[in-house]
Amino acid sequence: MDSRITEKLKILADAAKYDVSCSSSGGKRKNENKGLGNAEGMGICHSYTEDGRCVSLLKILLTNHCIFDCAYCVTRKSNDIKRAAFTVQEVVDLTINFYRRNYIEGLFLSSGIFKNADYTMERLVRIAKKLRQEEKFNGYIHLKTIPGASDELIKEAGLYADRLSVNIELPSEMSLQQLAPEKNYAEILQPMGSIKNQLIQAKEEKVLFKSAPAFAPAGQSTQLIVGASAENDHQILQLSNQLYKDYSLKRVYYSGYVPISSDNRLPIITEPPIIRENRIYQADWLMRFYGFNVQEIVDEQNPHLDLDIDPKLGWALRNRHMFPVEMNTADYEMILRVPGIGVKSAKKIVSARRFTPLNFENLRQMGVVLKRAKYFITCQTKSMYRQDFDSHTLKNRILFGDGSVRSTLLTQQLDLFKNAG
């Protein structure tokens, strides 16, 4: 086997893996030219790494040569590591051959910045163009937008890519100045704004002309690093909230900082903050799918998410006056706010109760986690509990009482503390 390409793949996959996004959903690209691939409908995870993350795309850097020196990044200029670069053809061959064997949904291509932003961006676009036009490839393509790249190149990228993303990485301008001196917020937000405008424009044109070209049909996303700088959960979630609203992002990804570098600009940590990252994701979900306002999840008084319990339970414990919720009459929106009830069971409850009054057994069978929900609901005015627990007792009952909800992750990290102590 060609050992040079193996070596490159090792280096450039290693360098790309801290970008957590691997989504392949939301595309609408159909195989209409009897070509290769189809990216309509839902994403597919073709494998999972041993850390439990989905492998959906071939996620690589074009090169890890970089002129920037961002403290949190393995690829930073001052880091003494092996450097490599793929040729355009090598990336195309890998993508096509992996795709044909059903290993991947497509390509996620990013790059270290060599020479300048436009020079780098132009290479990324060239690869996407070649895949679409010469290889008739209809699989998923996610291109990273290089901060500072010109509008024209971003526009062209959107013609070939399904998703574009610009990583913010650090949740405040101040941290950015400290840890990524060559970057600034204006330069990051500018392409984000430009993508947003192009997305709107393309949608409007589509209404007028059916044949108008699609622009990044799966939208744009970004990533924030959690734990490399001092921002609290309130600041982070407020920023994501703003990004969802102002830039209509499809997703904000959060990446618990993995201590990869000994750069003295960074805090010294030994373990990536996995539980915190998980709680932030849960909060993000509450904002996007459960109708929660960011202020209900965290505020100035409670700027940190509780690591012991999920944010929905946390909200319920702070708002006991909203409960109990009667399953046979409450609005869908309120049922969705009950700990232990997800979107699917909430929908089932609302449709099934049209046929017959529901009892606790019905709920259990529909997938409601009664261990948590039972303290917050009634069925036909009956409650599973006579006593009135205060919030503190309730939290302990749910955490340690009959059927605890402590996640495996939490248990794992607690075990680690035990070992360390």
In the complex, the residues that contact another protein under the rule CB under 8 A are 1-3, 5-6, 9-10, 13-14, 16-18, 30-31, 34-38, 44-55, 58-59, 94, 97-98, 100-103, 136, 256, 258-259, 271-272, 274, 348, 351-352, 354-356, 358, 362, 365-366, 408-409, 412
Phi, then psi, of 141 in degrees rounded to 5: -130, 125
* Other C-beta atoms lying within 10 Å of the C-beta of residue 271: 14
User: In whole angstroms, how close is the CB of 106 to another protein at the nearest point?
Assistant: 11
User: In whole angstroms, how close is the CB of 45 to another protein at the nearest point?
Assistant: 6
* Angstrom distance (rounded) from CA 135 to CA 204: 29
For 217, the token pair is 């049909």
Choice between 176 and 358, CB closer to another protein: 358
Choice between 34 and 392, CB closer to another protein: 34
Residue whose C-alpha is closest to residue 250's, from 14, 17, 13, 28: 28
* Angstrom distance (rounded) from CA 19 to CA 32: 31
User: In whole angstroms, how close is the CB of 52 to another protein at the nearest point?
Assistant: 3
User: In whole angstroms, how close is the CB of 136 to another protein at the nearest point?
Assistant: 7
Choice between 94 and 188, CB closer to another protein: 94
Choice between 58 and 73, CB closer to another protein: 58
Q: Is 106 left (phi over 0), alpha (psi -120 to 50) or beta?
A: left
User: In whole angstroms, how close is the CB of 409 to another protein at the nearest point?
Assistant: 7
Choice between 14 and 326, CB closer to another protein: 14
* Angstrom distance (rounded) from CA 416 to CA 421: 8
Contact 324/313 with Cβ under 8 angstroms? no
Q: Which residues of 70-87 are buried (b: 16+ CB within 10 A; e: fewer)?
A: bbbbbbbeebeeeebbbe
Choice between 260 and 384, CB closer to another protein: 260
For 328, the token pair is 């046979």
User: In whole angstroms, how close is the CB of 260 to another protein at the nearest point?
Assistant: 8
